[in-house]
Amino acid sequence: MPNQVYINGQLFAKEDAKVSVYDHGLLYGDGVFEGIRVYGGKVFLLEEHIERVYESAKAIRLEIPMSPEELSKATEDTVRANDIRDGYVRLVITRGAGSLGLDIRRTSNPQVIIIADTISLYPKELYEDGLQLVTASTIRNHPGALSPRIKSLNYLNNILAKIEATDAGTIEALMLNHKGEVAECTGDNIFIVKRGILLTPPKSAGILEGVTRNTVMELARKAGIAVEEAEMTRHDIFVADECFLTGTAAEVIPVVSLDGRAIGNGEPGPTTRKLLKLFRESTESV
Ligand code: PXG
């Protein structure tokens, strides 16, 4: 059982791994995080995740009190200490404890937390059958209010949309941006295939730039599939030939309907299947 949690250079038993109730991560959602996979004992795409967490931290003016190299090493050490072969790592960096009030100068001692645990995956049959999506009425955060590019501890925007998915009996919901364009899902990026071209919303649509998204785009290009970032509306998904989602937890998962309209022939398409295969191979070859 994994039960060793890293906090600021020390490993604690799970039940003793604690932060202050005055931590601004808890009081205000003031902090950043990452979700990373472990395959075969190896931390997958660690460098990319480390880079993103430093970028998220920079965007909220949070200085992570260690170097990227040190954080990478601490991540690998924590995975090893918990003997995780296939699992999940959660990095959390909070602003630290301080007096009440929003002023970041009232805080000190950011908490660098690393949890290495098992992962709960989407049901296996969904990779064969595809999942059904609904559009959430909750729109993605306006980038001018809180940029979705920051993977912050403030995930209520996504949680509200996820509640809508759950209420509708699905596991993911499509989120539109403030312009009504397709942005992403609550914890996954979205792709469509139209006339052989792979399309995904651009960063400017107000999305988290997924590490899996970038990897899949690269794998597709290497496989000779044309890839474009393009603004899209729900209509583009209704009339797409194929649709799938990407994410650290989901990997590549087919989508077969949106709001009750079948996408393509209502079954996972050949390009989706190919990219799922290529992605899984890439997790095995690291
Ligand atoms: N969009 C959003 C809003 C996300 O939160 C993705 C896209 C996919 O990005 P990656 O880099 O994973 O390809 C995410 C990722 C968790 C958890 O424990 C959340 C994510 C990933 C892993 C774990 O809640 N979100």
Express each pLDDT in 188-237 by its tens digit: 999 999 999 999 999 999 999 999 999 999 999 999 999 999 999 999 99
Angle between helices 211-222 and 46-59 (to 10 degrees): 130
Q: Span 253-272, mean pLDDT?
A: 98
Start-end ranges of CATH 3.30.470.10 in the chain?
4-117
Give the Cα separation of 21 and 31 in Å (integer): 14
**Exposure class string for 2-25: b at 16+ Cβ within 10 A, else e:** bebbbbbeebeeeeebebeeebbb
Q: What is the pLDDT of residues 66-119, one digit of tens each?
A: 999 999 999 999 999 999 999 999 999 999 999 999 999 999 999 999 999 998
- CATH class of the domain at 124-283: alpha beta
- Give residue ranges with CB within 6 A of ligand 1: 35, 158, 184, 187-189, 208, 210-213, 246-249
Q: Which CATH topology does 4-117 take?
A: D-amino Acid Aminotransferase; Chain A, domain 1 (3.30.470)
How far CA 140 is from CA of 149, 165, 171, 198, in Å, comes to 11, 14, 17, 23
| 151 is a catalytic site residue | yes
Start-end ranges of CATH 3.20.10.10 in the chain?
124-283
Which residue lies with its CA nearest to atom 9 of ligand 1? 210
Q: What is the pLDDT of residues 170-191, one digit of tens each?
A: 999 999 999 999 999 999 999 9
Rg of the chain in Å (alpha carbons): 19
Report the pLDDT value the prediction gives residue 2, as an integer from 0 to 100. 66
User: pTM for the full model?
Assistant: 0.97
Give the Cα separation of 164 and 177 in Å (integer): 16
Q: Is 246 helix (H, G, I), strand (E, B) or coil?
A: strand
Report the pLDDT value the prediction gives residue 1, as an integer from 0 to 100. 59
Among 42, 73, 124, 151, the active-site one is 151
Which of 43, 52, 141, 208 has the most ligand 1 atoms within 8 A of CB, as the residue to mutate? Answer: 208
Which residue lies with its CA nearest to atom 10 of ligand 1? 210
Which residue lies with its CA nearest to atom 20 of ligand 1? 187
Q: Span 22-39, mean pLDDT?
A: 98
